Structure 1
Amino acid sequence: WRSRRFAAALAGAAALALPLAALYPLSLHRASPAAFDWWLRQNAFGVFGGTETFALSFSPVYYLKNLLWFAFPAWPLALWTCSRRGFWREDWAAPAVLWTAAALALLCCTPAHDADNLIWLLPPLSLLGAVRLDVLRRGAAAFFNWFGIMIFGLLAAFLWLGWLAMNFGWPAKLAERSAYFSPYYVPEFDWMPMIVAVLFTPLWVLAVRRRKVRGRQAVTNWAAGMTLVWALLMTLFLLWLDAAKSYRPVVERMEAAAPAALKSGTECLAVARDAYTVRTAWGEYGSLPLAVGGEASCRYRLTRNEKADEPAPAGWRVLWQGARPRSKQEFFVLLEKQEAV
Structure 2
Amino acid sequence: MHQSVVKRLLNCFAKGKADRYAISSNLSRGVQAYVVVVLVFTFSGLVGHDPWKADEAYVFGVVQHMYESSDWVVPMLAGEPFMEKPPLFYWMATAFASIFSHWLPLHDGARLASGFFMSVACWALGTTARIWWGAGMGRYAALILIACLGTLVQSHMMMPDLPLLASFAISALGFATILSRAHLGGFLLGMGVGIGFLSKGLLAPAVMVLTALLLPLCFEAWRLRAYWRGLLTAVVVSLPWCVIWPLVLYMRSPTLFMDWFWINNIGRFAGFSVPRLGTEHLPWFWSQTIPWFTFPGLPVALWMLWSRRHTALREPPIQYALVAFSVLMLVLATSSSARCIYAWPLMVPIAILAGPGACALPLQSERLWVGLSLTLFGVFSLIIWTGWVSMMSNGVPPNWPYLLRLLPVEFVPRFSVLPIAAAVLVTLAALLALWMFWRRPARGLAIWVVGVTLSWSLLTTLWMPWLDFAKSYRSVFVSMPIPAHTNCIASIGLGEGERAMLRYFTGRDPVRREISPAADCTVLLVQREAVFGEPDIDPSRWRELWRGSRPGITNERFWLFQRERGASSRLTFTGHTHSSPQPVIDKSPTF
If the length of structure 1 is used for normalisation, what is the TM-score? 0.70
The question of whether the paired residues in 2 share the 8 Å contact of 1:149 and 1:208 is answered with no
Q: Which residue of 2 aligns with 1:78?
A: 301
Task: Classify 1:205/1:18 alpha carbon distance in 2 versus 1 (closer, same or farther; 3 Å).
Answer: farther
**1:284-319 C-alpha deviation (Å, 9 max, x unpaired):** 3343424395287779785664xx32368xxx7378
In the TM superposition, residue 242 of structure 1 has moved relative to its aligned partner by 0.7
Moved more, 16-25 or 237-246: 16-25
Q: Does 2:411 correspond to 1:188?
A: no
Moved more, 223-232 or 184-193: 184-193
In the TM superposition, residue 74 of structure 1 has moved relative to its aligned partner by 0.8
Alignment of 1:56-135 (within 5 A): 57-59=280-282, 61-84=284-307, 85-86=309-310, 87-107=312-332, 109=335, 111=337, 114-135=339-360
In the TM superposition, residue 107 of structure 1 has moved relative to its aligned partner by 4.5
Runs (5+) with no aligned partner, structure 1: none
Task: Classify 1:93/1:160 alpha carbon distance in 2 versus 1 (closer, same or farther; 3 Å).
Answer: same
In the TM superposition, residue 73 of structure 1 has moved relative to its aligned partner by 0.5
Q: Which amino acid aligns with 2:536?
A: R
Q: Does 2:380 correspond to 1:155?
A: yes
Alignment of 1:1-341 (within 5 A): 2=216, 3=222, 4=224, 5-13=226-234, 15-17=236-238, 19-20=240-241, 41=259, 45=264, 54-55=273-274, 57-59=280-282, 61-84=284-307, 85-86=309-310, 87-107=312-332, 109=335, 111=337, 114-169=339-394, 173-174=398-399, 181-183=407-409, 185-209=411-435, 212=439, 214=441, 216-252=442-478, 256=481, 264-265=487-488, 268-271=490-493, 278-286=495-503, 287-291=508-512, 294=515, 305=529, 308-310=530-532, 317=536, 323-327=549-553, 330-332=555-557, 337-338=572-573
**1:83-132 C-alpha deviation (Å, 9 max, x unpaired):** 44233333223432343344445555364x64344323222222222232
Q: Which amino acid aligns with 2:387?
A: G
In the TM superposition, residue 279 of structure 1 has moved relative to its aligned partner by 0.5
SS at match of 2:415: coil
CA distance in 2, matches of 1:37, 1:186: 49
Give aligned-pair identity as a percent: 21
SS at match of 1:269: strand
Task: Classify 1:281/1:138 alpha carbon distance in 2 versus 1 (closer, same or farther; 3 Å).
Answer: same
CA distance in 2, matches of 1:94, 1:17: 24
Q: Which amino acid aligns with 1:280?
A: G
CA distance in 1, matches of 2:257, 2:528: 22
Task: Classify 1:192/1:41 alpha carbon distance in 2 versus 1 (closer, same or farther; 3 Å).
Answer: farther
Q: Which residue of 1 aligns with 2:159?
A: none
Runs (5+) with no aligned partner, structure 2: 1-214, 217-221, 538-543, 561-570, 575-591
CA distance in 1, matches of 2:532, 2:233: 54
Moved more, 88-97 or 240-249: 88-97
SS at match of 2:430: helix
SS at match of 1:325: coil
CA distance in 1, matches of 2:355, 2:487: 59
In the TM superposition, residue 134 of structure 1 has moved relative to its aligned partner by 2.8
SS at match of 2:551: coil
**1:1-30 C-alpha deviation (Å, 9 max, x unpaired):** 533444444554554455456787799999
Q: Over aligned residues, Cα RMSD in angstroms?
A: 4.6
Task: Classify 1:144/1:264 alpha carbon distance in 2 versus 1 (closer, same or farther; 3 Å).
Answer: same
CA distance in 2, matches of 1:116, 1:64: 14
The question of whether the paired residues in 2 share the 8 Å contact of 1:303 and 1:334 is answered with yes
CA distance in 1, matches of 2:426, 2:231: 40
CA distance in 2, matches of 1:54, 1:292: 21
The size of the alignment, in residue pairs, is: 316
Q: Which amino acid aligns with 2:512?
A: A
Task: Classify 1:22/1:231 alpha carbon distance in 2 versus 1 (closer, same or farther; 3 Å).
Answer: farther
**1:204-248 C-alpha deviation (Å, 9 max, x unpaired):** 11222355465x221111111111112112222222111011133
Higher RCO, 1 vs 2 (CA within 8 Å, ≥6 residues apart): 2
The question of whether the paired residues in 2 share the 8 Å contact of 1:88 and 1:94 is answered with yes
